[in-house]
Structure 1
């Protein structure tokens, strides 16, 4: 089987390398004006999300409320509680920025496009996956900064919630609403140009990744961190993913979910969004010099979840097809 390289994942590596080689343009005070560029990029991303969001397509999935409860509770309660236990367990053995980044990963909402695509590939409940992934992205605008604020305050780092929520409202929620308002006018155009919009969205995220790492490299945040940190985060990310997949799968079986709903629950409940995670971090943490280290866990978790879920989707799809063929032979 030929392995296809995802240009977006390669772009993340390239953006990080550029920030290491040329940090001045994207750092605070640089000629790219990162403060303005960041907020404009965030507004563009969420406007495009609003433009592409079809609430009419969600109606078929709204009635499976036990499934929705499992996914949302896993995403915004179970995951953050695991994160709290993890950073308590790690203690002072890792830097404060990395601990914050690990918890931020746990507090993020689920992905939208990849959750739905992988659920479809695995022959799961597509409508329920679309509903849950979309609901998660909306709830995350409010719940993610709330969780981060609770953790920061518990460690004596006071984080005023008002200014953060105001920024999130202006640069995330309003563009999202504007995208919905203009959908009747531009919705068909957006459907025809979905590939172009997706590329613009991903390129904007890569620009935000670049500016996020520029300050960190310029201020020497990474001077005390190397391959050992990357290996540690990779191991933790793999452990988190495995644990949450086991929890969602076990709860789904215990509740008697059909196979299609179990697939949707496991994919939506275990995924974390990079697309919303990077712009939200820029607003929540501002010009924090360690933002590159804060973003490291989600940047590692994102490709890891795609690879593992891709393998699982193929396996489960083949299993479903084999079951269907067996049933057809037995009834033929």
Structure 2
């Protein structure tokens, strides 16, 4: 069997090159973690890579697309309610069960999932593959991330118990604005100069998008390995966490579809709600965690988000292929 056929077969079950690179990055960090001066340089490179990513997002985003998408208030409201109301409530309800068998930092990380905005690239891609409302998905994912820059840390601060030991400094929100929102705004200003190039050549955006995530994953898990993450998390606990993440994803997907149908949404809108409302952004979540939890167990805190991200990619890839067929 040729390599292209093997890749096509793997894609049908949700395993593409990006998924495999994520797994390989975790393995690389486990056996060859960054440390010392190299780790410090890597953190600086990662910071600029994330800023560049959101600059590109800003340069690509069409104001006309946002205006068109906003007219579909049912879809936009549905995505925001799933992302910033349903998810936080479910993770808050499940957190006591998680703490019965998993470290506190992982319980904090599970709650952190609920506060994150929707994905941008993958939710739009899956909506497109399924012949859903792409313009609505672009608008919903973009608004979710813009609001999430401020709302996500505030929501997390409101939900996390003061006795957990994982407090957030208010100054962290300004640091997040500097790294994410300001580059996005500058990108919007530069859009007339860059939009045609970025729309014609998709590779630069994809490389920066995937590359920045891989850099953050390697940096975070390198720090975790140095601090003994795999001595803290046992295989049985990892399987337990995977089960909780899968249950969370299944419940949100089920509620999103049911609510969309009850609201009388068209199939195209329903698909956009499904993919945007049930997914969480790793591109926003990882750099935000690096700022919010500086000096804490970042690798343990982002582990639930990593697992949830991998699960959502696999499930959405499989479902999008079946819906299109």
TM (norm. structure 1) is 0.88
Query: Retained in 2: the 8 A contact 1:238–1:304?
Result: yes
Partner of 2:258: 250
Residue 105 (structure 1) aligns with = 113
Compared with structure 1, are the counterparts of its residues 241 and 91 closer, same or farther at alpha carbon in structure 2 (3 Å cutoff)? same
Q: Is the 8 A contact 1:149 1:161 kept in 2?
A: no
Over residues 260-315 of structure 1, what are the superposed CA-to-partner deviations in whole Å (9 max), with x where a residue is unaligned?
22222111110111122211111211232x21121112222222212222222233
Change (3 A) 1:182 1:2: same
CA contact (8 A) 1:28 1:35 kept: no
Counterparts of 1:228 and 1:209, CA distance in 2: 22
The 5 A counterparts of 1:1-332 are 2-4=9-11, 5-23=15-33, 26-27=34-35, 29-30=37-38, 32-157=40-165, 159-288=167-296, 290-318=297-325
* Structure of higher CA gyration radius: 1
1:86/1:172 CA distance change after superposition, 3 Å: same
1:325 corresponds in structure 2 to none
TM-score, normalising length: structure 2: 0.90
Q: CA deviation at 1:7?
A: 2.2
* Equivalent residues of 2:117, 2:144 under 8 A apart: yes
Cα offset, 1:180, TM superposition = 1.1
Counterpart-to-counterpart distance in 1, 2:31 and 2:305: 22
After superposition, the CA RMSD in angstroms is 1.9
* Counterpart-to-counterpart distance in 2, 1:268 and 1:31: 34
Cα displacement (A) at 1:144: 1.2
Which residue in 1 is equivalent to 2:3? none
- Give the paired residue count: 315
1:81-101 residue CA offsets vs partner (Å, 9 max, x unmatched): 111111123334210111011
In structure 2, distance between residues paired with 1:213 and 1:315:
34
Aligned to 1:326: none
Bigger Cα displacement from structure 2, 222-231 vs 261-270 = 222-231
User: Per-residue displacement from partner, 1:154-199 (whole Å, max 9, x unpaired)?
Assistant: 3353634421111011111111111111111122222233212311
Between 1 and 2, higher relative CO (CA 8 Å, sep ≥ 6) is seen in 2
Instruction: Give structure 2 stretches of 5+ with no counterpart.
Output: 1-7
Conserved 8 A contact 1:146-1:161: no
Cα 1:285/1:227, change in 2 over 3 Å: same
Structure 1 gaps, min length 5: 319-332
